[in-house]
Amino acid sequence: MSYRIIGDSCTDLPKALKGDPHIVLVPLTLIVGDVSIVDDETFNQQEFINRVKQSPQGPKSACPSPQDYMKHFDFDGHIYVVTLSSPLSGSYNSAELAKKLYLEENPNKKIEIIDSRSASAGQTLISMKIMELEATGQPYDAIVKLINAFRDMMKTKFVLESLDTLRKNGRLSGLQAFIASALNIKPVMGANSEGSICKVDQARGIVKALLQMIKAIELDVIKPQEKIVGIAHCNNHERAEFVKQEILKRIPFKDCFIVDTAGVSTMYANEGGVIVAY
């Protein structure tokens, strides 16, 4: 049976999967001041980063409409939709509404909406797992069960170079951001089981923070020899390579990929941010 994976544009794909006929990305819209930017193949990362730095207001995002999802449901095969964590975006709820509306007229269509409870490379890992399971020829219902179990076991951690976007968005007080900046404190963040952001640790300096993140991964990873680790970076490939080498020195993951962040992930990670999913 044929299938289609529909991801929102927070799904950061490696080059090998860009243009894959099984994958369609639905763009969110990024808003900086009075400027709206569609997060598609026209997205210019450096231009966006510069615009965010110059804006006194924090960047925001607008999720795809149900119609944006529904137009990709007219497909002769199974549909899987993989969205950004629902506590971070309305993308999941929009996809669920699209499914409900579509099934009213197409009640036999197989559509599964998967809240990644992650972002970026985490969404990519789920998409890759769907492709792996579909290649085995298993029934749709079995794949749905396995992919949700995979999502439940997946973990995400990240380190931010700058707290400026969190400060501008009101998620961190100006005083906290100032103290962290003055002391060069870098938070190690993660996603909890519901997909909300939580603090894991902190360290002074970016290198120490990255190593603290890797230590946290080493402590909580289960059966790494069966897992792929995905690393996404915002405009700092050298840093991502450092994280890759340090992870693989300590943890025997079966494979690893590195991707640069597209628009939504760039907005959250800010320049220099690194996201790890496994």
In the listed set 153, 183, 217, which residue is the last one of a domain according to the structure?
153
Calculate Rg over the CA atoms of the chain: 18
Residues 123 and 14 in one domain: yes
Inform me whether the pLDDT recorded for 181 exceeds 60: yes
Residues 101 and 126 in one domain: yes
Residues 210 and 72 in one domain: no
Mean pLDDT of 230-241: 98
- Residue 56: the pLDDT is 86
Residue type, 86: S
Inform me whether the pLDDT recorded for 185 exceeds 90: no
Q: What is the count of structural domains for the chain?
A: 2
Mean pLDDT of 173-181: 54
Q: Give the pairing type, strands 274-277 and 156-159.
A: antiparallel
- Over residues 58-93, the pLDDT tens digits come to 899 999 999 999 999 999 999 999 999 999 999 999
Residues 22 and 113 in one domain: yes
Distance (Å, whole) CA 158 – CA 147: 23
- Over residues 117-151, the pLDDT tens digits come to 999 999 999 999 999 999 999 999 999 999 999 99
Inform me whether the pLDDT recorded for 46 exceeds 80: yes
Residues 172 and 122 in one domain: no
What's the domain range around 263? 156-277
Q: Band of the pLDDT at 224, cuts 50, 70, 90? A: very high
In the listed set 130, 153, 176, which residue is the last one of a domain according to the structure?
153
Residues 18 and 132 in one domain: yes
Mean pLDDT of 168-188: 64
- Residue 175: the pLDDT is 45
Residues 163 and 265 in one domain: yes
Distance (Å, whole) CA 10 – CA 234: 13
What percentage of the chain reaches a pLDDT higher than 90?
85
In the listed set 129, 153, 177, which residue is the last one of a domain according to the structure?
153
Mean pLDDT of 243-255: 98
Residue type, 111: I
Q: Is residue 36 part of a domain?
A: no
Inform me whether the pLDDT recorded for 152 exceeds 60: yes
Mean pLDDT of 90-107: 98
Looking up residue 181, the CATH number of its domain turns out to be 3.30.1180.10
Q: Is residue 21 part of a domain?
A: yes
Mean per-residue pLDDT over the chain, rounded = 93
Q: Enter the DSSP assignment of 77.
A: S
Bridge partner residues of 113 (DSSP): 81
